[in-house]
Amino acid sequence: MAESGIVFLGPPGAGKGTQAEIIAACLHVPHISTGEILREAIREGTPLGHKAQTYVDQGHLVPNELILELVAERLHHSDAQKGWILDGFPRNVSQASFLDDLLEKRHHPPHQVVNLEVPDKVLIDRLLLRGRKDDNEEVIRNRLVVYYEQTSPLIDYYTKKGNLHSVNGDRTPTEVTLALKEVLMC
């Protein structure tokens, strides 16, 4: 498994970031969070940050043209050649097919996808507790709508491809980590 990539899928607040960090350390691969890359660009006031800010603040997806090349470049780094974890990408079907094409072009082995399943009620409570700038009630609602409209179709997409593992994320972080370690063999 360490030879290939892993995509962490799941609604906002499912615990993707926390779990991806732990699994990345365990597999010795980089944890690549597109949300974190965008937040850093916004903090630093880079051109990308300026273009992305309104979308991120409102809980909408940034346009694909801001994110696709960024991911392609990040996966090209030397630290990502033995594997990687993507957290927050892909977020829609066109991002997923971009990733598939990219990996095929680069002759990467097939990647795995883990889907963290958590009911809405639990997500909203968790996000309100987290208190990030884009974690107020209105923006949370937007992010959930965006998730159901654009990201959740990826569950079907990867089920058809046959590389999806669903994991119950409505448990303590330690229990979720144990389940993920079992699925991902680390």
The residue ranges that bind ligand AMP (CB under 6 A) are 12, 34-35, 38, 55-56, 59-62, 67, 88-89, 91, 95, 143
How far apart (Å, rounded) are the C-alpha atoms in residues 145 and 108? 33
Least distance in angstroms from the C-beta of 12 to ligand AMP = 5
**Minimum CB–partner distance for residue 37 and ligand AMP (Å):** 8
Nearer to ligand AMP, 37 or 176 (CB): 37
Residue nearest to ligand AMP (CB): 35
- Residue placing its CB nearer to ligand AMP in the complex, 50 or 178: 50
- Please report how close the Cβ of residue 143 comes to ligand AMP at its closest, in angstroms: 5
98 contacts 92 by C-beta, under 8 angstroms: no
| Shortest distance in whole angstroms from residue 159 CB to ligand AMP | 20
CA atoms within 13 A on the CB side of 13: 27
Nearer to ligand AMP, 48 or 176 (CB): 48
Of 77 and 107, CB closest to ligand AMP: 77
Nearer to ligand AMP, 27 or 38 (CB): 38
